[in-house]
């Protein structure tokens, strides 16, 4: 069984027991979270449930297991003959989430 969920402006294909890195969301380590923007649910047997745009009543339950930071991205700006140079670094923060269950609509 797997599901496709949307969070943080991105879509993730998740299965129970899998650990995924998603955009940072509120909560602390050990908290349970519910991802309710489920776009698709594919059970082991039977047909896929495709949402328009989301599957009503379906949700993915997980628990936060840690925080991570992505690799550093350097942003440079330069304008010739104007003595303008700018260099800024950025590291995106992520949450590590273990997917516990995928709940189907009843």
Tens digit of each residue's pLDDT (9 = 90 or more) over 46-87 = 899 999 999 999 999 999 999 999 999 999 999 999 999 999
- How many domains does the chain divide into? 1
* pLDDT the model gives residue 106: 75
Longest dimension (CA), the chain: 66
* pLDDT the model gives residue 105: 83
The mean pLDDT value of the chain amounts to 95
For the residues 29-43, what does the mean pLDDT come to? 95
* pLDDT the model gives residue 46: 87
Q: What are phi and psi of 52, to 5 degrees?
A: -130, 75
* pLDDT the model gives residue 39: 96
**Percent of the chain, pLDDT > 70?**
100
What is this structure's pTM?
A: 0.83
State yes or no: pLDDT of 16 exceeds 80.
Answer: yes
Three-class DSSP category at 7: strand
Report yes or no: 63 and 22 within 8 Å, Cβ to Cβ: no
């Amino acid at each position: 069984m797997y599901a496709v969920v949307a969070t943080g402006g991105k879509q993730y294909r998740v299965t129970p027991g899998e650990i995924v890195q998603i955009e940072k969301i509120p909560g602390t380590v050990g908290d349970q979270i519910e991802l309710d923007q489920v776009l698709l649910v594919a059970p082991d047997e039977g047909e896929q449930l495709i949402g328009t745009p989301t599957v009503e009543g379906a949700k993915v339950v997980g628990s936060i297991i840690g925080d991570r930071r992505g690799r550093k991205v350097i942003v440079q700006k330069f304008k010739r003959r104007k003595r303008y140079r700018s260099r800024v670094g950025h590291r995106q923060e992520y949450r590590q989430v273990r997917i516990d269950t995928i709940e189907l609509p009843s």
